[in-house]
């Protein structure tokens, strides 16, 4: 029981919870205390969980917000380093025809990895924590993270994106056979 009492970050919704299957609502007041507090909670949660991204539905709040915070780690030793960034009301404006399969995991789907096809390059629009509109082009790993987190806002997880159940493996098997040797 002390595990639950001592835990300092917000619980993360696990696969099967209805919040992960529900499309999230557009954020209308980015500057509100409620929105800013949610972003702070998400930043703390993703940092403590060691993730490279987290979406608001994963902490039981069905809003169109996610955090991208790519950094090298045991699962992604070649991940580029980026400042944790709040992505609000994101949209993919354009996506490359080229897709690439890559291994993904998820804080809401512990112990499972999946080989997921994603667009190699995407052109996106989103708002930041201050309400500033951004247009950007993301490629490779960052494009993968963006698409993974955007799926959460649309009620999907990476498990919905694998082409076959043959593309799912346990995390321990993935570490033994597929993990990058960093």
Catalytic site positions:
149
**CB 99, CB 117: distance < 8 Å:** yes
Beta bridge partners of 65: 88
Phi, psi for residue 53 in degrees, rounded to 5: -175, 160
Residue 120: strand, helix, or coil: coil
For every residue of 4-30, DSSP letters joined together read HHH--S-----TT-GGGGSPPBPPS-T
Q: What is the largest CA-CA distance in the chain?
A: 50
Task: List, in order, residues 6 or more apart from 149 with CB less than 8 Å away.
Answer: 53, 54, 55, 66, 67, 68, 87, 90
**CB 167, CB 115: distance < 8 Å:** yes
Distance, first Cα to last Cα, the chain: 36
């Amino acid at each position: 029981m002390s595990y639950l009492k001592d835990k300092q970050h917000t619980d993360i919704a696990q696969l099967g919870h209805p919040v992960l299957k529900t499309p999230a609502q557009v954020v209308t007041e980015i500057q509100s205390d409620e929105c800013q507090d949610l972003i702070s909670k998400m930043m703390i949660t993703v940092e403590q969980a060691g993730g490279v991204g987290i979406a608001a539905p994963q902490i039981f709040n069905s809003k169109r917000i996610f955090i991208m915070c790519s950094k090298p780690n045991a699962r992604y030793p070649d991940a580029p380093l980026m400042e944790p960034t709040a992505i609000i009301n994101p949209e993919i404006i354009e996506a490359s025809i080229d897709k690439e399969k890559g291994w993904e995991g998820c804080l809401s789907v512990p112990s499972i990895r999946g080989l997921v096809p994603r667009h190699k390059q995407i052109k996106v629009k989103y708002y930041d924590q201050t309400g500033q509109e951004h247009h950007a082009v993301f490629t490779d790993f960052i494009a993968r993270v963006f698409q993974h987190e955007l799926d959460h806002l649309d009620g999907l997880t990476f498990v919905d994106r694998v082409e076959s159940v043959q593309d799912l493996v346990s995390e321990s098997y993935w570490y033994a056979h597929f993990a990058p040797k960093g």
